[in-house]
Chain A
């Protein structure tokens, strides 16, 4: 499979072509310059600005960063708000990552290795991805009639006389937040892992079983390592989404659970842009560290 930037195509040899390529990529590049690079630069810049009740004051101060970590130095009263929020957000990220990884891997494994006709494979794969195209908020509130105080789950359990009073922690709790995340984002695990698995040469698996490997040994020593890229890409997606989330935690936590994204959102709504920007810079640093820790460059382009 050829990579796309290497000038292997004859067209690339024609002089003047690279200028044409530049023009073709220009509008695309411009969008990312205007709506991605400049905004990120502004965030970093404004995080050092000062502000008062009604306007931003250009300058250079560490005030915003200092106030975010105010009180974090002394460990006597437990964790400060910022660290507590990061701890809670990281906890959600880890739990959701673990659950989506297990479910995503299992589903992808079933599709890739147990469904034999490719027509059926495509059909079932599409079946798994369709919900991705529908509204996330709708998919969140669709849990309300199931998990609510008088919801289907509580009705059923009470009908079976298993419980006397409705279970309260089903909705607007850590549980419902994790459930909604898994519901929404397992797809981001399935697709890349399935993609990696479909590239595994089937003769390797036959070779493993001919050499006397058990099913589990083949799975652990052949399939998992060869699906590594898909697993890493899926993990990056899920972790970055959960780390920056404020919508799911807001709706499914009944607006009661804190998250880093929510802090930024609230500060923005009070027009405290420098504070929000400083928080965004810290969040970005944490996310980058996670990604860096997960992988030292998987070439995503080769995986398409």
Chain B
């Protein structure tokens, strides 16, 4: 084939390019608007015009909005996000490895995972909430039957951040993790592993020194999925969390009560956390890629 000279663009290029640009504006425009408005001056309101530029509403946010302790909710969400991230990474990688081998019931498991992904979140959430309430009832019944009512005084509920909410988040993040692992291993060349085995590596050595470094960027990606999906999750958490709330749940409640730009400041803060996680992920992936290239070259 002769070298192709740059073809002229087809006539459809420009209309489609305009649609694309409009779409990107549609995606990002509103976000920029609240980003700008979160720096509204102290006298400013929820809409334009800007009355000065200040950090006033961030300061207000730090003081707390009404009865809601934003700082505590933020830490709870961060903690839960990190826990979800770690579980997602470890469990997805292990399951991804398992699916490469002969796995009895693998198709059923895969079907369940896809079902969990597309199941309306309110149903999952309701089910988990129900499950833990029934567990509560069971515990209380058993304790009463044993005649140790005094033991129940300190007991509230088994629903909580690192029990029911963690589980609810995992039903949402693990499917993404497993699908990414499938995508990785579908393109993975087993020759490297075989070479390691032929050279006498144990399965663990083969994994730790050959497979893991090769899939590392994707593993980091799974971690990012785990954290950011958890950080913003509402629907599955809503019925499956006890007395405390995560940041997005508080935020959802605040949308109808807070009528100052503080809520935009909160939006800016949560978005900055999301972007920071994405930035860290990209930096890690880039660094891992460079290390690999450095070694092979």
Contacts and interface: CB of A to CB of B under 8 A. Distances in A.
Interface in A202-220: 215
Contact of A237 (B24, B118, B126): B118
Given A39-B128, A141-B34, A4 B94 contact: no
A127 B90 CA distance: 28
B160 interface: no
Interface string B90-134: 111011011111111011011011111011111110111111011
Given A131-B31, A268-B126, A27 B94 contact: yes
Nearest to A150: B47
A42 B31 contact: no
B271 A135 contact: yes
A133 B278 CA distance: 8
B92 A28 contact: yes
Interface stretch (A16-24, A72-80, A222-230): A16-24
Contacts of A244: 119-123, 235
Nearest to A300: B114
B222 interface: no
Contacts of B224: 133
A255 B235 CA distance: 15
B255 A251 contact: yes
B190 A10 contact: yes
Interface in A262-279: 264-265, 268, 273, 276-277
Contact of A291 (B109, B118, B235): B118
A110 B26 contact: no
B251 to A, nearest CB: 5
Nearest to B168: A35
B106 A5 contact: yes
A32 B107 contact: no
Contacts of A284: 119-120, 123
Contacts of B122: 244-246, 261, 264-265, 280, 283
Nearest to B14: A114
Given A7-B102, A42-B130, A145-B37, A283 B123 contact: yes
B145 interface: no
Contacts of A34: 167
Given A134-B232, A137-B252, A265-B122, A304 B182 contact: yes
A146 to B, nearest CB: 6
Contacts of A35: 124, 128, 167-168, 170-171
Nearest to A187: B27
Contacts, number: 293
B215 to A, nearest CB: 14
Given A40-B123, A131-B31, A240-B119, A155 B48 contact: yes
Interface string A40-64: 1011001000000000100000000
A197 interface: no
A301 interface: yes
In which size bucket is the chain A interface? 35 or more
A17 B102 contact: yes
A114 B27 CA distance: 20
A143 B30 contact: yes
A289 interface: no
Contact of A18 (B102, B134, B178): B102
A148 B185 CA distance: 48
Interface string A115-144: 000000000100110110111111111111
Contact of B120 (A39, A140, A215, A240): A240
A293 to B, nearest CB: 14
Contacts of A131: 27-28, 31
Contact of A135 (B9, B47, B170, B267): B267
B118 A135 contact: no
Contacts of A114: 9-10, 12-13, 16-17
A233 to B, nearest CB: 9
A39 B186 CA distance: 32
B168 A141 contact: no
A148 B47 contact: yes
Contact of A264 (B24, B126, B133): B126
Interface of B: 9-10, 12-13, 16-17, 19-20, 23-24, 26-31, 33-34, 37, 45-48, 87, 90-92, 94-95, 97-104, 106-107, 109-110, 112-116, 118-124, 126-131, 133-134, 137, 167-168, 170-171, 174, 178-179, 182-183, 185-186, 190, 193-194, 203, 224, 228, 231-232, 234-235, 238-239, 248, 251-252, 255-256, 263-264, 267, 270-271, 274-275, 277-278
Given A37-B112, A114-B17, A240-B119, 8 more contacts: A4-B99, A28-B94, A135-B274, A145-B264, A254-B256, A264-B126, A268-B239, A301-B182
Nearest 9 pairs of A and B residues by beta carbon: A244-B120, A39-B127, A35-B167, A142-B30, A25-B98, A24-B98, A28-B95, A21-B101, A138-B267
9 contacts: A7-B101, A133-B274, A134-B31, A135-B231, A137-B252, A137-B255, A138-B34, A145-B47, A283-B123
